[in-house]
Structure 1
């Protein structure tokens, strides 16, 4: 029997822990147990795996303290392994560094600009960087909250000082409303296509 303790947002629980998955897990001897974040992890379990989608400093400290005492427990994913993915600047830089356009002509990353403060300076910074409007404005930090997914589209220069730093400005790329999701676990790779407006689309 394998026990998976999970700490996920309500939205992630609803989308991930589907009845079909839970039924299959039970047949395989896998149990999913919710973690009570108001209680110490040491008082819960025992767990074989901890699956989480939390990024707060307090939660990371809980995980690290627990893993020191229970190194046999697998944490998916270790906070230090995903830290650079919590920042949109470093996330896109990782992809740009792959230089995929050298192998696939249609693969590229949008040009971007990071603004840490002073919204009044944004028009000048955009002009100096040579970015072309419209621009997509995204919060710099991705912390799992709904605010970190709030995007704005700046069509003209007059709208730029109204933005709220820290943020990333990216040139808008028309993708026809289609997103490609790629999941990699070990040697297994699965990709699927979905509409960017419809979050209910799943593989």
Structure 2
């Protein structure tokens, strides 16, 4: 590992930053009624998420640190399970979300990651980027914005006129409006000409395509910790592409279909990671505005503009298992949550 003066691992293309150091030791958590000093994390996750997140390396490290993962049975009353210190979940079932909201009110001593009402903002691509657009973040390290976009609810034949009225510039990336965890919700299409727009399938979001050198930055946020990795993305679009393509081109989910870009020979101007101070400011503001602690950003740098970045997607509880060192990040995060809550109780705040 080679870490530069800003705290970036240049060899791995990974940014490591945390505003809060891991606690040296865990004070007795509120739920340790049995006298054992252990932290109980209840989880309600899909089988796919359990497999990708609860990997052996996380479970082994968690055991060493006194963290116990307990599966939640969604068919049984939540109040009859546990006790829990933390509840970790990623379920879109509305009945479950209501159960969890009720549980939060009845058991304020339990930390729920994250509030279902806050997660809902990321289930709709119209609302997920609104906070980024409203933020209008700019400092000496660069600026972060959201691409211009248009929501189409129905009637594909009206899309060309709607695009012209909104003043959007082709090509346009088409994404499903609703993000429901299915592979279909992450499918991308690229429209080069206005005559092809009526071939799209609403409801959807149309985003102006921004050339970005074919590199995407996955910005993982876990509380106050931020880590970044590079991924290959859609290639730039040039004049030849615009003149010789008339249809709709459908792409598989970019993060799944492309290879890791960490070891590739990439132009340094394209491969350079976003400045850490810019990401820390962005992460802090979005945590506050979204009310979330577990999410990631898909971020690109405009090709030819070293200091202009676009957030093109936000995902709740993404595939953290692909994040380097995620097991250390999460165990420290869990311990820190309970430690800070325990200290607040002692102080009476």
- Give, in whole Å, the separation in 1 of the partners of 2:45 and 2:212: 30
The match for 2:187 is 150
What is aligned with 1:202? 323
1:29 aligns with 2:66: yes
- The two structures, once aligned, show a CA RMSD in angstroms of 2.3
- Write out per-residue CA displacement over residues 7-66 of structure 1, whole angstroms, 9 at most, x where no aligned residue: 222332232222111111110111112222233323322221110112332121110122
Which range moves more in the overlay, 51-60 or 38-47? 38-47
Deviation at 1:90, TM superposition (A): 1.8
Q: TM-score, normalised by structure 1?
A: 0.87
- Alpha-carbon spacing, 1:177–1:53, altered in 2? closer, same or farther (3 Å): farther
Deviation at 1:162, TM superposition (A): 2.3
Match for residue 244 of structure 2?
A: none
Which residue pairs with 2:90 in the alignment?
53
| 1:186 Cα deviation from its structure 2 partner | 4.3
Q: Distance in 1 between matches of 2:43 and 2:137?
A: 35
- Does residue 10 (structure 1) correspond to residue 65 (structure 2)? The answer is no
Find the partner of 1:163 among 200, 224, 234.
Answer: 200
Output the CA distance in 2 between the equivalents of 1:193 and 1:107. Answer: 17
Rounded Cα–Cα distance in structure 1 between residues aligned with 2:175 and 2:222: 28
Q: Give yes or no for the alignment of 1:87 onto 2:124.
A: yes
Q: What's the offset of the Cα at 1:113?
A: 0.5
Q: Matched residue of 1:110: which SS?
A: coil
Q: Which blocks of at least 5 consecutive residues in structure 1 are unaligned?
A: none
**Aligned twin of 2:174:** 137
Q: State the aligned residue count.
A: 203
Cα contact 2:220–2:323 (8 A) shared by 1:
no
Task: Provide closer, same or farther for how the CA distance between residues 15 and 67 of structure 1 changes in structure 2, counting only shifts above 3 A.
Answer: same
1 or 2 for the larger relative contact order (CA 8 Å, sep ≥6)?
2
Aligned CA distance change for structure 1 residues 186 and 135 (closer, same or farther; 3 Å): same
Say if 2:179 and 2:186, in contact at 8 Å, map to a contact too: yes
1:194 Cα offset (Å): 2.9
Query: For each residue in 1:152-191, what CA deviation from the matched residue of structure 2 results, as whole angstroms up to 9, or x when unmatched?
Result: 2222223322222221100112333322222344443333
Q: Which runs of 5+ in 2 are unaligned?
A: 1-37, 233-254, 261-320, 325-349
TM-score by length of 2: 0.53
Separation in 2 of the partners of 1:185 and 1:202? 11
